[in-house]
Chains A and B, each alone.
Chain A
């Protein structure tokens, strides 16, 4: 912990308020993906509750293998107890159907599974890393969490994504600058079935980009056509002919028939339904 705070007073006050609130909650299970949001909540819960806090990572086909390993590492870094629970969203045909409500079914199943672990340790508080910046986009998963009465401290205290990163950095979390990764099914356009085959080729394709040193990217699966979204600030590097050839060769080897490069670069939620004006 730093001696002198480098974060704005208002942000520190929010962080202190969350810890104080958590301290009065007894046991808590944090839905933990290893991303910066849930890592922050896990760190705050551990700070407030110590061994009474438990991080649970729900493992399914939509979680990339590398994310799983990173979750394990960050939990160790925080010091919080950590468990995994396996489930499959693909068991639910409503999820596989991939309508714009897909995230609702996924989050419903996820929290039902996590609740099983919570109940086994006599805990009725489930927490998530949802923050204020999540509310402006198409997020049917938030409705599922509302139904499940999930405690969302970052949302409750109106903590924005930028403030999440400030807090995480202040707490010394190595993931403070980690790019958002989101679930792999978010790479499949609505209406196209979510299958294991598609999820795995997306994962393999994104591993290619990771291996080539890109930081913020998505491989969107348009039924065998890979549409690469790479952050604008990294796009010039991608456009070098030698790099394009490596991208194409790697992504095709991952299982795609053809590859195209999005000219606008990475946009979070680019496959989400378009809001009507």
Chain B
């Protein structure tokens, strides 16, 4: 399984698809991308493309962390 040594590359790749993330976390097989905000996330089709683009990292599940930092946001 590839590591996440270069988080900047990951942030850059996601930004290229229109997804702004501030980091990523790993829990077993699950890669969680941590979005900067839950507002204005890309649509389902683009998220699927990002997950596909991240396949070489070797994580079985590519996900969005939606619970760590949403409190206090004006959604």
Binding site for B on A (CB under 8 A): 189, 222-223, 225, 227, 232, 235-236, 239, 241-242, 244-245, 247-248, 251-252, 258-265, 270, 274
Determine whether the beta carbon of B65 is less than 8 Å from that of A264. Answer: no
| B34 CB, min distance to chain A CBs, angstroms | 10
Q: How many residues belonging to B are interface residues under a CB distance threshold of 8 Å?
A: 27
Known contacts A241-B39, A260-B32; A232/B65 CB under 8 A: no
- Taking a contact as CB atoms closer than 8 A, the residue among A189, A242, A261, A264 that contacts B66 in the complex is A261
Determine whether the beta carbon of B48 is less than 8 Å from that of A245. Answer: no
Binding site for A on B (CB under 8 A): 27-30, 32-33, 38-39, 41, 43-44, 47-48, 50-51, 60-68, 70, 73, 75
| B39 CB, min distance to chain A CBs, angstroms | 5
Contact partners of A260 in chain B: CB under 8 A: 30, 32, 63-67
> What are 21 residue pairs bridging A and B, where the CB atoms are less than 8 Å apart in the complex?
A189-B29, A222-B27, A227-B30, A227-B61, A232-B44, A232-B48, A239-B43, A239-B44, A241-B73, A244-B75, A245-B70, A245-B75, A248-B70, A258-B65, A258-B67, A259-B66, A262-B61, A263-B33, A263-B47, A265-B44, A265-B48
Contact partners of A270 in chain B: CB under 8 A: 61
A262 to B66 alpha-carbon distance, docked (Å): 10
A264 to B30 alpha-carbon distance, docked (Å): 12
